[in-house]
Structure 1
Amino acid sequence: MDARTPSLPSPFADWFAARGWSPRPHQLELVRRAEAGLSTLLIAPTGAGKTLAGFLPSLIELAPRAEDGLRRPHRLHTLYVSPLKALTTDVARNLDTPASEMKLNLRIESRTGDTPPHKRQRQRAHPPDILLTTPEQLCLLIASEHARVFFEDLQAVVIDEIHALAPTKRGDLLALAMARLQRWAPGHRRVGLSATVADEEGLARYLLGSNPPPHAGEVLSAAKRRGKAGTPPSVSRDTPDSSPVNGGALQSVVVKAPPGAQPVVDVLDSDARIPWAGHTARHALPEVYAAIKAAKLALVFVNTRAQAEMTFQELWRINDDALPIALHHGSLDVAQRRKVEAAMARGDLRAVVCTSTLDLGIDWGDVDLVIQMGAPKGAARLVQRIGRANHRLDEPSRALLAPSNRFEVLECRAAQEAVKEGAMDGAEPRVGGLDCLAQHIMGCACGEPFDADELYAEVVSTEPYAALPRPQFDRVLDFVATGGYALRSYDRYKRIVQDLATGRWRARNATIAQQHRMNVGAIVESEMLDVRLANRVQASRPGTPASEGPRPLMPGRRLGQIEEYFIEGLAPGDTFLFAGEVLRFLSVRDTDALVVRAPGAENPSIPSYAGGKFPLSTFLADRVRRMLDEPKRQKLLPQQVRDWIRMQKKRSVVPAPEEMLVETFPRAAKHYLVCYPFEGRLSHQTLGVLVTRRLERAGKKPMGFLASEYAMAVWALEPMDDVDLEVLFDEDMLGDDLEAWLAESTLMKATFSKCAVIAGMIERKLPGAARKTGRQVTFSTDLIYDVLKQYEPDHILLQAAFADAGEGYLDIKRVGALLRRVKGRLVHRALPHVSPFAAPVMLEVGRVGVQGGADEAVLEDAASLIAEAMS
């Protein structure tokens, strides 16, 4: 062992020895770095003990304090932040075990949205030694009085699954919160933990910011100091004179653990007929069930909550062996989720159907198989989910991918290859949202009065806001103070005031501060209703005669939450799947949807949830295009998929990776144009909107379009064989066409509404009042949107809304890259009828109408379409 490598104190060394373990080199490296006050980005595979590595230095530092007993002063030493409440609960349980077994006598507590108010108040008055929380709760703590006192003793911040937070609005708020912590506790160190990192340097910049904690960029040459390659963690080297914000020195904070065993990833080659379209993978469920039977505990991951409900119900339908199978997703009641988690930890379950609520860092029970229903949409997400199986570094994790359709077979194979190669995808660094900045400014004013110059320096010290100009900051500050130019005459938008004597800003009054604290966060979901089992009101006393007619219904046990718009589409008596049961809808009372169980009811609806689908990553899309161009890789595909591709080559063409195929053909008195960008549903939807506008101007009378992950189809009344495709797909469509469409669409209003809620212009919760309904929020924000668009079109919230629309809903950057990629590389085939590749997109049920056009069915008969494509 290197002379600089620390030896563990006896309680810790004895604890490792009692289990037959030895501390891993990267765990010891983090102890050494903590002793030097260094911040670290630890990249370690699942099962390598990265969570323990993050906490081990804190436990060692706290051990001597613990000897003073529970009467010692209450000082927060370590703050742990995770993206999921379930992960926080899991880590708290796993951290309690070594602390209690070593008799460290530590105060370790968690704080999430599920934590009761009385416990949160006690934590503020008496901080634990280690607090495990979420970004939203951290922002709430910063917005509380005496926040400086609460955090001033902070020694360490541990951010788990940091890659999942950094490229999101929650990551914006977390970066701003860390800058505030840097002011209050300038000596603290930061530790980022992740198993899947594509851009190490970018993530290191996010962790440290441009004004990192002391010694963050200290030079390390551990890789040279340690002798054997591959045994110690690798630590990048740099020159002592480098600034810690430069790329090389940023690498010096990255510690990599040796890779674990190569995961075993299989793609299900189903004996059943693989569907041409759809996202349920229902055809594969018998084979999935067989895999569950052969496993000890399987996690069955799906990409949407709707798919979770359907998959769970279908598995129970074929569960002839009565295997204990559970359901876990974010809309279920917290008590139900905790019940499932506890059963997993005890080993009482054989399978859990789950969404992303369980895919980040959680170690529940003895999972030995991960099943992915449908394509994973990203290699990093797949690696993350595979990591839930077999938390042992020297044994391979096992995963089974079950594609939903034929294009997904290609995507699953591409993901399988990427995992084998160790290739990774990841989100690009984002520019911080102005709505998040507005929320942070308000939160700072609620905590303690702030100086604008000092706060601006904090803000630009973060990576997301490093390039924020001072005039833009001042405009956001003015928005929080007055609402902006167009709204400054309304008192309700004056939320902070400046002390003329000190020049510092504070919350206007206690009520406004309370309003802010009730609405903290960057997650704006659709309006939700509580799903409750209905109970009949009992007679007032025994023996009282029943009144005429049925007794009124009262809300009973809460099963979870469901989106309001789905319930609005139901009539009393309709049935639907939820919480793993078939329920019959009765009525809505206030914010409760009253239901009764309806086992055996046929054809229940499956709830849909807004924003549930993951977009196909650019990384996997490129690999799918290349797979279609390489016959050698196609030999591994199922025979029916190979036949499908072979028929496409015969009937049309399979494009080269940098080309885009455009097919035109007539069908059922309509004319179709289908293109194959392979760039994901979001970008294809934007492309469809803009292409239909151009086709309308060209007199082709477009009637509608369909967008899938892989293709986009437009149908019209006039033939489109003679369209100049280079003009149709020119990059200039992202100029006037995009602006004109946004001016007409409701998308900008919907996006603005979410930005207004995050920025605090519209509060969903008010002290002493019922939560606003979705209609009330929409009505309020629509009015404000119309006023700002007319009188202050450059208002910061309109800027924020346009940025969100371009980055998320429209995926403008990706559409632009697509149009540049295919310029001069368009391949047109005018066909007599539908091609094998075109059939799947035409079978998609999702349909977007064009303004002024008829919303007609695309298909009369799916079977005849497939026969036509393959004849």
Structure 2
Amino acid sequence: MGDSSSFDLLSTGVQRWVYKQGWNSLRAVQEQATPIILQGEGDLLITAPTAGGKTEAAFLPIVSWLQDSHSDAGFGALCLSPLKALINDQYNRLSLLCESARTSITPWHGDVSQSVKKRAWKAPDGILLITPESLEAMFVNKPHELKSKIGHLQFIVIDEFHAFIGTERGMQLLSLITRLEECLGKSLRRIALSATIGDPNMALKYLRPDGSVEGIHLDVTGEGLNLKLQIKSYLPKKGDLPAIHEMSLDLFKWLRGTNNLVFGNSRRTVEEVTDLLAKACETSSLPVEFFAHHGSLSRDARHFIERRLKEGGKPTTAVATSTLELGLDIGDVVSVSQMGAPSNASSVRQRLGRSGRREGSPSILRVLIESHSRKKNPCPVDLLEIELFQAVAVIGLMLERWIEPPDQSALHLSTLIQQLLSMIAFTGGITASVAYKVLCKKGPWKGMDASDFAQILRDLGEADVLNQLADGELIVGLEGEKIVSSHTFYTAFEVPEEYRLVAEGKTLGTLPVTTPYVVGQLLLFGGRRWSVQSIDVSTNTMMLSRARKGQAPTFGGEPAPVHRVIRQRMFHLYQNKEVPAYCDDISAELMGAARTYFETKSINTTCLVEDGEYGYWFIWENDRILETIKVCLSLTGRAADRMGPCVVLERPTELKVLSLELLELLNSPDGITEQIECQPLGKFDCHLSDPTIRHAFVTEKLDVLNASRYLQSLIDEPKK
């Protein structure tokens, strides 16, 4: 193995496996990680491109340690993953390595058979691949057995770490890890893996909230990128035929006969594009090779496409949402296409890593943008070609290797309630001081002070979620018992009520019940056309049959937020004349026209464009600031809405006057918090008092401080 000193540190079984792979050397990330994991101390963040060898960088030394320090005292390593499919993928990827080192590896999630789980629980050993929800269930359902099963535990590996940061599942995961350490009375090595981390220092702080253990960042992201890139814009056609039709014809021409990924910004777009591509195959008398992939489809439908891509025997293009963004092994794809402007650089980086994995093959990325400036009656947002400029901004920042930091503004009180109840279920009862120490001093609610924590306990007491005994011990109340006994308790996020879609005896997937459906309605689902035959509201089941036509249903969900850095880059793009070489001729022409409009309307200085009875207020800030200003306008009696970086309002007035009025509202004693409608954010927030819910909503969804600063800057700006 050449001059590799790290290879010599690996166990004999792991070395044997490496030789069988035919590797001439370890990859750089594996060479560097091995001695850190085997000989060092503390936490480790490994960042490397998709398919850059991160998984082996962590598990070659971990499996070596497991082989050399074999013990019958339980699992030695846990790997926590955000997706069941990722666990299955990791199991398939690591099972031969573990077999070579005579080490066990067990997948554990809701779809794994009970026989596999019982066998592993009876004789725990090696590596356990698990979701946060399944680990939560162990704490609640196996409280007296858990410690004996993890007595040998040394390593916690977190796969796709960026997917957890700033989320409710991330708070749950970090709380569970902290509780594992409390259970064992020792610190565990935390190893996080990611392809897209913009701020490693922030990520290391998030990985160990109390900072009690030093962390190391291992970075090998400096590898060269062989990239072919194009942004192509589409103008409206005669007859108002949507641009998606012309886009789909181009995709068919470019992609057929090879393996590719096409990403859409919504499940509706995915369904429409898949249908158009499938129709193109039928028109050309070719087998269908384009398939939909999104979270509403059944597991079997998604696995079919993943297997077909990985096996590579038939040309396959998956048209997907973010479901194929994370590191599932689907083999090599020729190209990646993006329908519409991407919202963030991290997703583009993750998606781009799917292409060009073969040595000598370039990564190919196409971004397809619909022009809006030349449609009938365009508004100022249309004339500025916001989508095109956002795409150019995101791609430019991605090429500079900038990645937006995750938003960590949310309080995640619902997950805090879940963890309080889970801790009590595990121990039978805890004191408030112990709960505060574990969850807030050591755990992920590091920023919460004791008075706020006490208020949450009082709210939960009034709702009978918790009760406090005379000696101060907290126990589960009657309402809390209902929560803990529910099968949905283990998930930190809300599971929406959905219809189950069934056709020809098979479950196709689900649709939210919030949208009304009727018998005879035509649907696009899974890239095929269906007619609703019957609806059983008692079981939330919808029976479908094949149809000749269909229309994409409404799936719900919110668009991904756009970071301030992207909006500021867009603002600067309007003020210069540069057109990136990867933009096609139509994109260059549209950018020129939009820049002329931007200059003519003096948007760089006035921000407000009047168009009839509406005013278009361009605010080149993040979405939370725009949302704050929109809410303030509504509270002052002005109807307002948002369109990208713009707040649209009725009865526009001079901006300084308007800013003074909004700033007065934000700075008033009651402020915006006391006036907005109370809206619970998480699944357990309904058990909190109205003031607590209102505070949590404002903290997560709005940005009062920076909105005030922005408004003040408009007031202070001298007239030009």
Question: Please, what TM-score do these two structures have when normalized by structure 1?
Answer: 0.72
Deviation of 1:559 (Å) = 1.3
C-alpha displacement at 1:79, in angstroms?
Answer: 0.8
- 2:711 is matched with which residue? 819
Q: Contact conserved, 1:327 with 1:353, CA < 8 A, in 2? A: yes
Deviation at 1:350, TM superposition (A): 1.7
SS in structure 2 opposite 1:735?
A: helix
Match of 1:475 in 2: 455
**Tell me, what secondary structure is at the counterpart of 1:402?**
strand
**2:527 is the counterpart of 1:580:** yes
Distance 1:349 1:813 in 2: 52
Deviation at 1:342, TM superposition (A): 1.9
Q: Verify the 8 A CA contact 1:198 1:425 in the aligned structure 2.
A: yes
Name 2:11's counterpart in structure 1. 9
Distance, in Å, in 2 between the alignment partners of 1:290 and 1:353 is 15
Mapped partners of 1:278, 1:84: distance in 2: 38
Tell me, in whole angstroms, the C-alpha distance in 2 between the residues paired with 1:812 and 1:627.
28
Q: 5 Å matches for 1:827-842? A: none
- Following the alignment from structure 1 to structure 2, what is the Cα–Cα distance between the partners of residues 672 and 687? 16
The aligned residue for residue 554 of structure 2 is 608
Alignment partner, residue 552 of structure 1: none
Show CA shifts across 1:726-751 (max 9, x none): 121345166279978877766x33xx
Give, in angstroms, the shift of residue 41 of structure 1.
0.8
Cα deviation code 1:686-728 (max 9, x no counterpart): 534433554x4xxxxx6x5442213232345xxx4xx231121
The reply on whether 1:44 has 2:48 as its aligned counterpart is: yes
* Number of aligned residues: 691
What is the one-letter code of the residue matched to 2:291? Answer: A
Following the alignment from structure 1 to structure 2, what is the Cα–Cα distance between the partners of residues 526 and 444? 25
> Which deviates more from structure 2 when the two are superposed, residues 325-334 or residues 130-139?
130-139
Return the alpha-carbon distance in structure 2 between the equivalents of residues 818 and 21 of structure 1.
57
| Cα distance in structure 1, aligned partners of 2:246 and 2:699 | 36
Deviation digits for residues 175-215 of structure 1 (CA, Å, limit 9, x no counterpart) = 21111112123142110111111121111011122154xxx
Cross-structure match for 2:36: 33
Measured after TM superposition, the shift of residue 40 of structure 1 is 0.5
SS in 1 for 2:402: coil
How far, CA to CA, are the matches of 1:6 and 1:310 in structure 2? 54
Say which is worse superposed, 398-407 or 200-209, in terms of deviation.
398-407
Which consecutive residues of structure 2, in runs of 5 or more, have no partner in the other structure?
A: 372-384
Change (3 A) 1:811 1:123: farther
The alpha-carbon distance between structure 1 residues 274 and 715, as it changes in their structure 2 partners (threshold 3 A), is farther
* Residue 563 of structure 1: aligned partner: 512
Residues 212-254 of structure 1, C-alpha deviations (whole Å, 9 max, x = no match): 4xxx42xxxxxxxxxxxxxxxxxxxxxxxxxxxxxxxx5xx11
Give the secondary-structure state (helix, strand or coil) at the position aligned to 1:143. helix
Query: CA shift at 1:82, angstroms?
Result: 1.6
Q: Deviation per CA, 1:117-176, whole angstroms, max 9, x where unpaired?
A: 665566545435212122222222222322333333211100112122111111111121
Q: Secondary structure at the match of 1:426?
A: coil
Please tell me the residue identity of whatever aligns with 1:691. Answer: L
Q: Does 1:163 align with 2:162?
A: yes
Deviation of the 1:623 alpha carbon: 1.1
Measure, in 2, the Cα distance between the counterparts of 1:346 and 1:514: 42
Does the 8 Å contact 2:666/2:672 carry over to 1?
no
Distance between the aligned counterparts of 2:585 and 2:30, measured in 1? 48
1:334 matched residue in structure 2: 299
| 1:732 aligned residue (654, 660, 663) | 663
Q: Secondary structure at the match of 1:624?
A: helix
The one-letter code sitting in structure 2 at the alignment partner of 1:351 is T
Q: Counterparts of 2:593 and 2:719 in 1: how far apart (Å)? A: 18
Q: Does 1:427 align with 2:406?
A: yes
Query: Is the CA contact 1:370–1:385 (under 8 Å) kept in the aligned structure 2?
Result: yes
Identify the residue that residue 542 of structure 1 maps to in structure 2: none
1:338-389 Cα deviation digits (max 9, x unpaired):
2222222212442011111111122212223111111111111110111122
Query: Displacement of 1:499 after TM fit?
Result: 8.2
The CA deviation string for residues 577-596 of structure 1, in whole angstroms up to 9 with x for no partner, is: 12222222232331333232
User: Residue 376 in 1 paired to residue 307 in 2?
Assistant: no
Q: List per-residue Cα deviations over 1:418-451 (Å, max 9, x = no partner).
A: 2222222122444642222121011011112334
Give the aligned partner of residue 532 of structure 1.
Answer: 502
Q: CA RMSD in A?
A: 3.5
Mapped contact 1:80–1:131 kept (Cα < 8 A): yes
Match 2:310 to one of 335, 345, 350 = 345
TM-score (norm 2): 0.86
What's the counterpart of residue 233 of structure 1?
A: none
**Mapping for residues 192-591 of structure 1, pairs under 5 Å:** 192-210=192-210, 212=212, 216-217=213-214, 250=215, 253-270=216-233, 273=236, 281-293=244-256, 296-319=258-281, 320=284, 321-347=286-312, 348-391=314-357, 396-405=362-371, 406-430=385-409, 432-449=411-428, 450-462=430-442, 464-480=444-460, 482=461, 484=462, 487=463, 493-495=464-466, 498=469, 500=471, 504-507=473-476, 512=482, 514-515=484-485, 518-533=488-503, 556-566=505-515, 568=516, 570-585=517-532, 586-591=534-539
Q: Could you tell me how far 1:664 is from its partner in structure 2?
A: 1.4
Identity %: 21
1: CA distance, partners of 2:202 / 2:18: 34
Cα deviation code 1:448-494 (max 9, x no counterpart):
233443332222344642232223323334444x2x3xx4xxxxx24
For residues 390 and 287 of structure 2, what CA distance do their matches in structure 1 show?
Answer: 33
Three-state SS of the structure 1 residue aligned to 2:37 is helix
- Between the aligned partners of 1:816 and 1:21, the Cα distance in structure 2 is 59
Task: Tell me: CA distance 1:128–1:403, structure 2 relative to 1, closer, same or farther (3 Å).
Answer: farther
Q: Which residue of 1 is the match for residue 129 of structure 2?
A: 132
Is there any run of 5+ residues in structure 1 with no aligned partner, and where? 67-71, 218-249, 488-492, 535-555, 697-701, 762-784, 829-871
Change (3 A) 1:738 1:325: farther
Q: 1:641 to 1:674 in 2, by over 3 A?
A: farther
Instruction: Give me the whole-angstrom Cα distance separating, in 2, the residues matched to 1:39 and 1:815.
Output: 37
Q: Structure 1: which amino acid aligns with 2:98?
A: A
Instruction: Please give the secondary structure, in 1, of the residue aligned with 2:356.
Output: coil
Moved more, 405-414 or 732-741: 732-741
CA distance in 2 between counterparts of 1:657 and 1:7 reads 62
* Secondary structure of the corresponding residue to residue 583 of structure 1: strand
CA distance in 1, matches of 2:280, 2:668: 51
For residues 371 and 759 of structure 1, the distance between their equivalents in structure 2, rounded to whole angstroms, comes to 39
| Letter of the 2:659 counterpart | F
- Are the equivalent residues in 2 in contact too, given 1:90–1:363 (CA < 8 A)? yes
Deviation at 1:631, TM superposition (A): 0.8
Q: Aligned partners of 1:672 and 1:112: how far apart in 2? A: 52
* Alpha-carbon separation, structure 2, partners of 1:266 and 1:361: 22
Say which SS state the counterpart of residue 129 (structure 2) adopts: strand
**Letter aligned with residue 340 of structure 2:** G
- Separation (CA, whole Å) in 1 of partners of 2:622 and 2:412: 24
Deviation at 1:270, TM superposition (A): 4.3
SS in 1 for 2:207: helix
1:60 counterpart residue number? 64
| 2:700 equivalent to 1:804 | no
Distance 2:466 2:234 in 1: 63
Conservation of the 8 A alpha-carbon contact between 1:373 and 1:403: yes
Structure 2 counterpart SS, 1:707: strand
Q: Distance in 2 between matches of 1:705 and 1:194?
A: 39
8 Å contact from structure 2 (residues 574, 595) kept in 1: no
